[in-house]
Structures are given as structure tokens and as C-alpha cells.
Amino acid sequence: MDPGLYIAAAGMVAEQVRQDQLANDLANASTPGYKAGHATQQSFGELLLSNTSTGQVIGGLQTGVRISKITTDLTPAVLEQTGQPLDFGIAGTGFFAVRTAQGIRYTRDGQFGASAQGLLVDPNGDPVLSQTGATIAVAANGSVQTSAIGVFNVSGAAKQGDNLYTGTAAGPATGVARQGELEQSAADPVQTMTNMIASLQAYQSGETAIQTIDATMQTSANSVDSLGAGS
């Protein structure tokens, strides 16, 4: 089997993973507080080729690439004024905390609302927490004091889904909550589309390589059959 097939196929699989990550970023280009992912590509390694009879080293052969991990860039994005009393953005680092069915989760999305019970909740209906871990009541006039909302420093933040994170709260963050503002999505739709096109072109290159190798192998096989038939 031609090793080029494995190399091309590995590259195509890597680009499929990258395409999924970029598509998710594009889908969240308008989601407040969303943080884009970055796919890290890594080589599978190199095979050292040698003459099986003499042991003489011939050279190396690359074995393809893979996506080793997808990291999240947590750099704070620009805050946009909305004027809505239950919208909150974090200026600087830190996370809001919400209590979900799976436990405490953290988010930069401060597009909050009021539940039927009069509690401050996130877009999923999960209660937003104060710095002490208590739920937050929405006042009769539909507002909440900014100081009531916890902003947490989170170590080991790891994305769970599109906009929630797990991690360990390590006290108050240096960032501060601002009422009537939302953090914009960190996914740039133009740059993401550009990256998607480049990834698709890389995928198609792998596809072309496989087709070329397949055609070459087929030609070689037909030549062997012809020699056999003529003997």
C-alpha cells in the first residue's frame, strides 16, 4: 500500500476536525461572551527508512498530521452597550457563575433575565450566583445591583458546550461587572470564513492526492496484468 494514501487521509481527517471547530465558531459569531477555539496540528512522527539487506539508512518518511488539541482563547473581548438592565458584561478577566443541573458552571455571557420566581437567570434558565454562591433576586423594577453579581477567578477553565466552562473558583476576579453591556463574541465571522475556505482547500488537496495515487496504482496493476497475459 502506498504510504502516501495514509498521509493524505490523515490530513483530510485533521481538516474535518478543524472544519467542525470553525463551523461552531461561525455559528456563535453573535453569541455574547463566546470564545473562539484554535485547533493545534501535530505530526504523527517520522519513520526512518533503511535497506533491509544492508541496514543502510535511506531517509525519513513523514506519516501525516493530526489535530492534537483544541484550545480556547479566553482573552476578554470588547463590551457593547445595550441599555438593558439585566445585561452584564465583564470588563477584564473573570467569569459569572451559574448553578446548572450538572453543578456550578462559569460563563462570560451576561445576557441575563428574570425567572418566574424573580431570580436572575442565564439564557438557559439557570440561576446566576453572587460572590458567596447565593441566588440573586431581581428587584420589583426589573433591575439588579451590579455589586450583587459574583465575578470569579477560575483556574483550569475548560469549555463545556458553547458558552459554559468547568473549573475551580479561586476567589474574586480582577474584572468587574458592568450593567447594560454585553461582551461581544470573540469569533470574527470574516476571519473564520477565510480559515474555513483554507481548510476546505487543504482537504480537497488531500482528496486529489488520493485520487492521483489510486490512478497510479491502477495503472501499475494493469501493466502487471498485461505483462502476465503476454508471457
Task: Report domain extents, the chain.
Answer: 3-73+187-230, 81-183
Q: Residue 177 forms beta bridges with which residues?
A: 90
Spatial distance between the Cα atoms of 169 and 153, rounded to a whole number of angstroms: 6
pLDDT-based confidence at residue 137 (cuts at 50, 70, 90):
very high
Q: pLDDT value at position 190?
A: 94
More confident site: 174 or 44: 174
**Phi, psi for 28 (deg, rounded to 5):** -110, 25
Nine cell digits for residue 35: 470564545
**202, 16 contact by CB (below 8 A):** no
Q: What is the pLDDT of residues 17-61, one digit of tens each?
A: 889 999 999 999 999 999 998 877 665 555 555 566 776 666 555
Spatial distance between the Cα atoms of 221 and 107, rounded to a whole number of angstroms: 59
Cell numbers 454585553 correspond to 182
Q: What is the pLDDT of residues 142-170, one digit of tens each?
A: 999 999 999 999 999 999 988 999 999 99
Q: What is the pLDDT of residues 116-126, one digit of tens each?
A: 999 999 999 99
Q: What is the overall mean pLDDT for the chain?
A: 86
User: Which residue type sits at 165?
Assistant: Y
- Given a cut of 70, whether residue 177 has pLDDT beyond it is yes
Q: Tell me the residue length of the chain.
A: 231
Percent of the chain with pLDDT over 90: 61
Q: pLDDT value at position 86?
A: 98
Q: pLDDT value at position 153?
A: 97
Spatial distance between the Cα atoms of 24 and 192, rounded to a whole number of angstroms: 10
Q: Residues of 132-170 as b/e, b for ≥16 C-beta within 10 angstroms?
A: eeeebebeeeeebeeebbbbbbbeebebeeebbbebebe
Nine cell digits for residue 211: 485520487
Helix (H, G, I), strand (E, B) or coil at 95: strand
